[in-house]
């Protein structure tokens, strides 16, 4: 009986170690960045501030993962720690994404801003058919893109980006002030005639 009592906890401990082994292994080892480029962020959300840009085949070590699909990683060859979506990581260098075709500016000029709203500071002004890499769309509806000529990463309204070059720029959809209705003029009243006094006899 004593031997059986001693064996049961030992067997349970072994089973627990076997179950925990694959989970621990899933978060250990080296992972590889799949897209051609992606932002490493301060927190696990698309609208968090970018720390730096990591590129395809860069090695990272996963420190933790969230239930919302993000991983906190440490770069292996550079001193940086931040957050990146799980979908952008691969445990094998052979499972990298194919290069994503660029998008093109479809209006005459488009400001690339440091924040996903029209009040952000202008980083650079893009011009018609300039190529950019689409990095993702934030909760604000704005797209985070990388200018392929300057490598600057910023935010732009995705309505002004097309998946292929165009022959001529589209008209920008700027909000116009509502037209005021003409105020009807008051009808001019004829001047009242003053009554004539009877002439003296």
CATH number at residue 69: 2.30.30.40
The reported pLDDT for the residue numbered 22 is: 35
Residues of the chain with pLDDT under 50: 3, 12, 14-26, 177
Q: Which of 72, 99, 126 is the last residue of a domain?
A: 99
Residues 50 and 91 in one domain: yes
The reported pLDDT for the residue numbered 17 is: 42
Q: Tell me the pLDDT of the chain averaged across its residues.
A: 77
Determine, yes or no, domain membership for 174: no
The reported pLDDT for the residue numbered 134 is: 83
Domain region containing 79: 29-99
Determine, yes or no, domain membership for 83: yes
The reported pLDDT for the residue numbered 190 is: 53
- Angle 64-52-44 from CA coordinates, rounded to 5°: 35
What are the distances in angstroms from CA 139 to CA 8, 92, 116, 143? Answer: 52, 30, 9, 9
Residues 91 and 38 in one domain: yes
Residues 57 and 87 in one domain: yes
φ, ψ for residue 194, nearest 5 deg: -80, 135
Give the list of residues 6+ apart from residue 77 with CB closer than 8 angstroms, or none.
58, 59
Nearest to 46 by CA among 108, 88, 101: 88
Determine, yes or no, domain membership for 155: yes
Answer yes or no: pTM beyond 0.85: no
Q: Which of 99, 115, 150 is the last residue of a domain?
A: 99
The reported pLDDT for the residue numbered 15 is: 45
The reported pLDDT for the residue numbered 19 is: 44
Determine, yes or no, domain membership for 24: no
Structural domain count, the chain: 2
pLDDT tens digits along 78-92: 999 999 988 888 887
The reported pLDDT for the residue numbered 132 is: 93
Determine, yes or no, domain membership for 38: yes
Determine, yes or no, domain membership for 89: yes
Q: Which of 62, 83, 99 is the last residue of a domain?
A: 99
Among the residues of the chain, which ranges form H helices?
Answer: 2-26
Do strands 50-55 and 59-65 pair parallel, antiparallel, or not at all (unpaired)? unpaired
């Amino acid at each position: 009986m004593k031997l059986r009592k001693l064996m049961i906890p030992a067997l349970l401990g072994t089973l627990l170690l076997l179950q925990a082994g694959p989970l621990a292994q899933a978060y250990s080892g080296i992972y590889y960045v799949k897209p051609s480029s992606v932002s490493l962020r301060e927190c696990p959300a698309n609208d968090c501030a970018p720390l730096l840009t990591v590129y395809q085949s860069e090695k990272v070590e996963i420190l933790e993962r969230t239930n919302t699909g993000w991983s906190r990683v440490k770069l292996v060859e550079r001193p940086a720690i931040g957050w990146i979506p799980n979908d952008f990581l691969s445990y094998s260098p052979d499972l990298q994404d194919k290069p994503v075709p660029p998008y093109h500016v479809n209006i005459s000029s488009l400001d690339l801003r440091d924040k996903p709203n029209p009040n952000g500071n202008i980083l650079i002004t893009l011009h018609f058919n300039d190529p950019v890499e689409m990095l993702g769309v934030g909760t604000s509806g704005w797209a985070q893109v990388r200018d392929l000529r300057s490598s600057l990463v910023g935010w732009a309204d995705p309505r002004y980006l097309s998946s292929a070059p165009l022959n001529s720029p589209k008209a920008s959809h700027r909000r116009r002030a509502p037209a005021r209705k003409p105020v009807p003029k008051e009808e001019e009243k004829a001047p009242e005639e003053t009554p004539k006094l009877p002439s003296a006899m």
